[in-house]
Chain A
Amino acid sequence: MAAPRPAPAQEAPYFITYTHHMEEPGSLEVAIAPVFATQRGGDDFLASSLELEYGLTGWWTTELYLDGQATMNDSTVFTGWRWEHRVRLLAGERRINPVLYVEYEDVNGAEKTMLEVVGHDVEADHGEPNAVGRRERERELETKLIISGQFRDWNLAGNLIAAKNLAGEPWEFGYALGLSRPLGLAARATACTVCPENFAAGVELYGGLGDQHAFGLPDTSHYLAPVIAWNLPSGLSLRLSPGFGLNRESHRFLVRLGLSYEVPDLGRAVRGALGRGNR
């Protein structure tokens, strides 16, 4: 029986911005992505999501998120779940590659992972006690148009976000932009762990664009966040991103950490675990 080989994700290092690169068909990526944020007018918090990303086909990736958070001097709560689909619209590699994203989320008002910032999301939203936030339930539909391309080994990606609370609230809009590049372009002939080819670095810019009744930048929050990723040969990927609020409506400081592991060919891995091997 051949053991499953680890498959380093080799993905762009972004936390917020999606690219046109899809999960490999049949592969499962398991990730946790905690974010620590400072909070004016309230207590700092640590929010996190458990992410299960699966490549259904070469052009269709699906992902389930389970979210929670812990607020200092308050409590630790489960805040909800999200289920997303990404569909790559065109085959082959083009200068600009469009991907459509559709997500349904069922979260409560204490959700603080900030994996997308839309509408008039501001720091003050996260200042209320968990007991109050949990009483508010938000069922949202979120869509994104993802455009992304590789330009001389740089990845440039932009996401335009439109989200709607299904309780009848207006459409809210947001954006995310990412630019990144591997630190080493050619691979070494020998195995290595701490070498430039295993690192990628870049920067993200993301924020809200108001809603359908008040489109624009007033009363919105925006962040600039350098990112770095380290893809270990063992199959683990580590990502780190300090983020800085760009206006008074934003958290002053965030730091995100990502840890992911990719299981290539999930079906085979499960069969192997059940002792059926390659029969």
Chain B
Amino acid sequence: MRRALTIAGCGLAACAALACLGTTAGVGPSRAPDAARSLANPFRDDASAAAAGRKLFERHCAHCHETAPGAKRRAPALDAAALGNVSSGTLFWFVTNGNLRGGMPAWSRLPRAQRWQLVAYLQASHPRGR
């Protein structure tokens, strides 16, 4: 029994170390590869998609990226300063991959169309960056 517990403990510790090392690779949208940055949003300038994206934002994102005035956020506000010069493809890549070490989940669990709708909403709200 002691041997099995030792093996399990070592395995878990090794995995935690690996995970720490692995997660350092995914920090922030700036790490998006060139191929991802150049992707175009199939829902660009689609008001209906942006409205759907807003609904998705409220369901999945707003409890961390809180938008209510004076609310305490777990994650950065998604305002013009954060999104202004980020391309659609970079945002899509970041939503998909997240930043696991920084606490941002990977939203690959959402269908691609919904992730693009989220991007459409974020960029419609802060229209400087396309």
Interface of B is mostly: helix
Q: Is A182 an interface residue when CB atoms closer than 8 A count as contact? A: yes
User: Are A59 and B70 in contact, with the CB atoms below 8 A?
Assistant: no
Residues of A within 8 A of B (CB): 2, 4-8, 10-12, 19, 21-22, 24-26, 57-60, 85, 87-93, 100, 102, 104, 139, 141, 143, 150, 152-153, 155, 164, 166-168, 182, 184-191, 197, 233, 264-265, 268, 278
User: Are A185 and B16 in contact, with the CB atoms below 8 A?
Assistant: no
- Chain A residues within an 8 Å CB radius of B4: 141, 164, 166
Q: Is B78 an interface residue when CB atoms closer than 8 A count as contact? A: no
Known contacts A141-B4, A233-B59, A264-B63; A185/B11 CB under 8 A: no
Closest to B104 in A: A58
- Chain A residues within an 8 Å CB radius of B18: 89
Q: Which of B88-130 contact A (CB under 8 A)?
A: 96-106, 108-114, 117
CB distance from A223 to the nearest CB of B (A): 25
User: Are B99 and A102 in contact, with the CB atoms below 8 A?
Assistant: no
User: Are A93 and B110 in contact, with the CB atoms below 8 A?
Assistant: no
- Chain B residues within an 8 Å CB radius of A190: 51, 55
- Chain A residues within an 8 Å CB radius of B81: none
In the assembly, what is the distance between CA of A190 and CA of B58, in Å? Answer: 12
User: Are A10 and B110 in contact, with the CB atoms below 8 A?
Assistant: yes
- Chain B residues within an 8 Å CB radius of A150: 108-109
The residue from A10, A87, A197 contacting B12, defined by CB atoms under 8 A apart: A87
User: Are B106 and A93 in contact, with the CB atoms below 8 A?
Assistant: yes
The residue from A6, A58, A143 contacting B23, defined by CB atoms under 8 A apart: A58
In the assembly, what is the distance between CA of A44 and CA of B52, in Å? Answer: 46
- Chain B residues within an 8 Å CB radius of A166: 1, 4-5
User: Are A268 and B58 in contact, with the CB atoms below 8 A?
Assistant: no
Q: Is B80 an interface residue when CB atoms closer than 8 A count as contact? A: no
- Chain B residues within an 8 Å CB radius of A189: 48-49, 51-52, 55
Which interface residue of A6, A7, A92 has the most chain B CB atoms within 10 A? A92
Q: Is B71 an interface residue when CB atoms closer than 8 A count as contact? A: yes
- Chain A residues within an 8 Å CB radius of B110: 10
User: Are A89 and B19 in contact, with the CB atoms below 8 A?
Assistant: yes
In the assembly, what is the distance between CA of A10 and CA of B52, in Å? Answer: 16
User: Are A102 and B8 in contact, with the CB atoms below 8 A?
Assistant: yes
The residue from A11, A168, A187, A265 contacting B64, defined by CB atoms under 8 A apart: A265
- Chain A residues within an 8 Å CB radius of B25: 91-92
User: Are A5 and B101 in contact, with the CB atoms below 8 A?
Assistant: no
In the assembly, what is the distance between CA of A278 and CA of B72, in Å? Answer: 6
Q: Which of B21-35 contact A (CB under 8 A)?
A: 22-26
Known contacts A25-B103, A58-B102; A141/B55 CB under 8 A: no
User: Are A100 and B15 in contact, with the CB atoms below 8 A?
Assistant: yes
CB distance from A265 to the nearest CB of B (A): 6
- Chain A residues within an 8 Å CB radius of B23: 58-59, 91
Closest to B56 in A: A187
